[in-house]
């Protein structure tokens, strides 16, 4: 908690947002309601990409009540990747859990994650499992993606990308050691998947840990023809091409093979 003392938090919950008024309160409340006696170990850092809705007013109301919430508003929209990058520059925790402004933490997950962070101090990237939910955060009865059945310690990136079942693409599933997010990551800004590029860079040498228990409620986007027509062809195809580019680049980093997901 940032309160004038020198002690820094173990974990920063970093929320990148842009016009997030619709669901942002749910995301913030899902953290606050779990703090109890954890305030000295956790901070919430919100990086607002020049929202034009009521996002600033919503966050400032929280920041006035809780001194563990730190709010930053960009002068202009820097794009998603740079806004995530700014979270790591602004956070003070040893680890940063990136939480999308329309997702939420499941009950009781903070203590469980903190236990893992303390137990595996040599790990640079934690992947936490998540539940796919509808627009009202009601969990679907069947998982859309393959599930993870057990906790897995991954000694390197090859093991991680083989065992993670592509779940690392969801940004809310990643907890990353802040000092490992460095200049190597900058080359991936603009891809739309800076977090994937970051863990590829970091895990070329570092260890990872996969938490099998579902700790996040992921609000899935609309699907089907309506989404395709609303976004446009290139907006749908380009992300896939960017992921392929990052995976191909992993050869340069020394990975033995591409992730099993492509």
Q: CA 258 to CA 42: how far, in whole Å?
A: 35
Helices H / strands E in the chain, number of each: 8, 9
Domain ranges of the chain: 11-249
CB 109 within 8 A of CB 215: yes
CB 121 within 8 A of CB 207: no
Each residue's pLDDT tens digit, 84-137: 999 999 999 999 999 999 999 999 999 999 999 999 999 999 999 999 999 999
When pLDDT is averaged across residues 152-158 and rounded to a whole number, the result is 96
Nearest to 126 by CA among 228, 6, 212: 212
Q: For residue 174, is pLDDT > 70?
A: yes
Q: For residue 233, is pLDDT > 60?
A: no
The fold adopted by the segment(s) 11-249 is Spore Coat Polysaccharide Biosynthesis Protein SpsA; Chain A (3.90.550)
Q: What element of type H or E holds 228?
A: helix 225-231
* Predicted structure pTM score: 0.91
Q: Which tokens hold the place of 25? A: 């309160």
Whether the CA torsion 248, 249, 250, 253 is positive or negative: it is: positive
Helix axes 194-202, 233-249, angle to 10 degrees: 10
When pLDDT is averaged across residues 68-85 and rounded to a whole number, the result is 97
Angle at 213 between CA 246 and CA 171, to 5 degrees: 30
Taking the CB of residue 138, how many other CB atoms lie within 10 A of it? 11
Residue with tokens 């003070």, as numbered in its chain: 92
Considering only the C-alpha atoms of the chain, give the largest distance between any 2 of them, rounded to a whole number of Å. 53
Q: Which tokens hold the place of 159? A: 């093991």
When pLDDT is averaged across residues 42-58 and rounded to a whole number, the result is 98
Rg of the chain (C-alpha set)? 18
Q: CA 210 to CA 223: how far, in whole Å?
A: 28
Q: For residue 259, is pLDDT > 80?
A: no
Mean pLDDT, the chain, integer: 90
Q: CA 126 to CA 121: how far, in whole Å?
A: 11
Cα separation of the two ends of the chain: 41
When pLDDT is averaged across residues 215-222 and rounded to a whole number, the result is 88
CB 113 within 8 A of CB 215: yes
Residues 6 or more apart whose CB falls under 8 angstroms from that of 72 comprise 45, 46, 47, 48, 86, 90
Please tell me the least confidently modeled range out of 51-65, 82-96, 137-151, 160-174. Answer: 137-151
């Amino acid at each position: 908690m940032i309160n004038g003392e020198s002690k820094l938090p173990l974990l920063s919950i970093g929320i990148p947002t842009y016009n997030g008024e619709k669901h942002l309160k749910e995301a913030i409340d899902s953290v606050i309601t779990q703090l109890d006696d954890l305030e000295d170990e956790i901070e919430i850092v919100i990086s607002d990409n020049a929202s034009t809705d009521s996002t600033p007013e919503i966050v400032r109301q929280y920041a006035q009540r809780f001194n563990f919430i730190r709010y930053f508003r960009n002068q202009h929209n820097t794009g998603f990747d740079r806004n995530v990058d700014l979270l790591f520059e602004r956070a003070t925790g040893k680890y940063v859990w990136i939480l999308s402004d329309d997702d939420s933490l499941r009950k009781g997950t903070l203590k469980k994650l903190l236990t893992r962070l303390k137990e595996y101090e040599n790990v640079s990237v934690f992947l936490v499992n998540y539940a796919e939910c509808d627009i009202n955060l009601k969990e679907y009865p069947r998982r859309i993606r393959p599930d993870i059945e057990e906790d897995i310690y991954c000694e390197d990136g090859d093991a991680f990308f083989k065992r993670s079942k592509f779940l690392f693409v969801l940004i809310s599933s990643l907890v990353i050691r802040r000092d490992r997010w460095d200049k190597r990551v900058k080359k991936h800004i603009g891809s739309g998947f800076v977090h994937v590029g970051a863990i590829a860079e970091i895990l070329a040498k570092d260890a990872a840990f996969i938490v099998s228990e579902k700790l996040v409620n992921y609000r899935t986007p609309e699907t089907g023809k309506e989404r395709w027509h609303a976004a446009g062809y290139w907006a749908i195809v380009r992300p896939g091409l960017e992921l392929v580019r990052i995976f191909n680049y992993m050869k340069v980093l020394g990975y033995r093979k591409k992730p099993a997901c492509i």
